[in-house]
């Protein structure tokens, strides 16, 4: 009779275990609940539910805050004894990357208490609910979750309320002085040299991407609905576009050399695509061009960097402060950084024809500092000559015309519109600049088929008309 009763109890425990494990497998996916082949062992990965606007605070020389939505999971590894749940509790370990062993020990003791409260019943789901929903409050943790970065190889992670500095110090001291009080079931996954902040941020980024991939979004370009796994998110502005549309947009900009224009296509939006986003969308050749142009644009913005003027080289050249000589590290060409020709020492730069034409306007419109720079570059005499020539050229354009034969500047002081060039003695019409016949130059003004018909004295004052003669020209 006693043997039969034991068998019934064993059968009842086994059925309860099977029912519990089947229920957990139906509630949680394979990433959260993993059951061993033996059927009595497993792992449960629990991501704690964080409040909104949860932050990480990195303390050190400077305090920096990071917004996070997810933290790496607590891992509850368990093994079910034969007499669970009638007599024995599950054998378990609790591990974490971001909680201290002292905090994990507190959680282990709370799990033991929950078993005592529910002894004789399955308890795994009760443990899971506590860890997911109540662990932060139980440990007294809230935003910002503080990470102390002291630079020591033994630097550790402590979390607490912002006003609990004394309590953090007390807990850390207790953990060091009383290692015997630490529960052996509390396991710290992070090693002493691990970059914990990077692990936390990487996990948060991966989980955000996972959530994004599972949602449906409307593309801001083609207005079709697609899964996030087929879309691109601009993190600064949160605008979403499908990969096909944004890929074509990026390819056009890169082909046109507008690598600084790889921004969100939304009008007036200034969010910039990250290089990693560009690399995932475009081909290797296009990304290589994008990377090269981006570097070149960055160098162009640096005041102490110029390019070798040789078209066969074009290597970036670093300049010494206030230096006007550049020495190309590739082809060893020494050049003037102002005029881009061979270095000419202390001599002034020789302006080109185009520079001379623009020098007067640039000098007169420039500030005192800009005028001083132009005088140092070209010399005061060159500047003065350019200004005088520019004024002369402007006066000639407004007050004279060119002879149609030799191009000499002719100024009309008085007389009729039949002109004689003082250089080559060519007759020409002052109105249309047409060459006139030497035999009968006035026939041009008597031809009714041309606009100058009867215009010989056009513009002549009446007083001049009375005393006009051919010789006066």
Distance, CA of 24 to CA of 124 (rounded, Å): 9
Query: Which residues have CB under 8 Å from 17's CB, separation 6+?
Result: 40, 80, 84, 85, 122
Tokens of 261: 């224009």
Closest listed residue to residue 45, CA positions, set 132, 122, 141: 132
Collapsing DSSP to helix, strand or coil, 59 comes out as strand
Distance, CA of 80 to CA of 351 (rounded, Å): 91
H or E stretch at 335: strand 334-336
Collapsing DSSP to helix, strand or coil, 105 comes out as helix
Residue with tokens 């939006």: 269
Alpha carbon distances (Å) from 151 to 57, 98, 155: 16, 17, 7
Closest listed residue to residue 143, CA positions, set 168, 157, 158, 160: 160
Alpha helices in 215-348 (DSSP H): 243-255, 275-281, 284-300
Name the residues annotated as catalytic: 416
Please give the angle made by the CA atoms of 414, 418 and 421, to the nearest 5 degrees. 85
> Cα 266 vs. chain centroid, distance in angstroms?
16
């Amino acid at each position: 009779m006693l043997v039969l009763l034991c068998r019934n109890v064993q059968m009842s425990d086994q059925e309860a275990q099977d029912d519990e494990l089947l229920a957990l497998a139906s509630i949680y996916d394979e990433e959260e609940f993993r059951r061993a082949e033996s059927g009595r062992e497993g792992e449960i990965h629990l991501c704690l539910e964080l409040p909104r606007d949860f932050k990480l605070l990195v303390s050190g020389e400077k305090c920096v805050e990071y917004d996070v939505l997810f933290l790496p999971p607590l891992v509850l590894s368990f093994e079910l004894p034969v007499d669970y749940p009638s007599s024995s509790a599950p054998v378990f370990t609790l591990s974490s990357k971001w909680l201290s062993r002292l905090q994990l020990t507190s959680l282990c003791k709370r799990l033991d208490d929950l078993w005592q409260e529910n002894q004789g019943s399955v308890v795994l789901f009760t443990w899971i609910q506590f860890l997911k929903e109540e662990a932060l409050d139980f440990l007294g943790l809230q935003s910002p979750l503080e990470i102390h970065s002291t630079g020591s190889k033994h630097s550790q992670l402590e979390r607490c309320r912002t006003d609990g500095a004394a309590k953090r110090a007390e807990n850390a001291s207790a953990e060091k002085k009383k290692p015997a009080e630490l529960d052996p079931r509390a396991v710290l996954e992070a090693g002493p040299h691990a970059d914990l902040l990077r692990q936390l941020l990487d996990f948060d980024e991966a989980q955000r991407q996972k959530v994004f991939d599972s949602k449906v979004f409307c593309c801001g370009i083609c207005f079709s609905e697609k899964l996030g796994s087929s879309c691109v998110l601009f993190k600064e502005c949160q605008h979403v576009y499908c990969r096909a549309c944004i890929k074509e947009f990026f390819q056009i900009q890169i082909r046109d050399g507008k690598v600084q224009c790889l921004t969100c296509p939304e009008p007036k939006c200034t969010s910039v695509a990250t290089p990693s986003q560009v690399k995932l969308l475009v081909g290797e050749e296009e990304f290589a061009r994008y990377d090269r142009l981006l570097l070149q644009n960055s160098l162009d913005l640096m005041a102490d960097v110029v390019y070798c003027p040789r078209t066969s080289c074009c290597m970036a050249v670093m300049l010494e402060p206030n230096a006007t000589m550049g020495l190309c590290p590739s082809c060893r060409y020494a050049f003037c950084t102002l005029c881009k020709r061979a270095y000419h020492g202390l001599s002034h730069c020789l302006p080109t024809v185009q520079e001379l034409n623009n020098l007067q306007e640039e000098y007169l419109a420039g500030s005192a500092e800009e005028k001083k720079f132009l005088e140092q570059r070209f010399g005061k005499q060159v500047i003065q000559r350019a200004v005088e020539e520019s004024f002369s050229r402007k006066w000639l354009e407004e007050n004279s015309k060119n002879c149609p034969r030799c191009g000499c500047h002719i100024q009309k002081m008085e007389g009729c519109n039949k002109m004689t060039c003082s250089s080559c003695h060519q007759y020409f019409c002052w109105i249309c600049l047409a060459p006139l016949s030497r035999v009968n130059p006035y026939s041009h003004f008597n031809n009714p088929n041309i606009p100058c018909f009867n215009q010989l004295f056009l513009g002549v004052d009446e007083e001049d008309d009375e005393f006009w003669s051919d010789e006066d020209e």
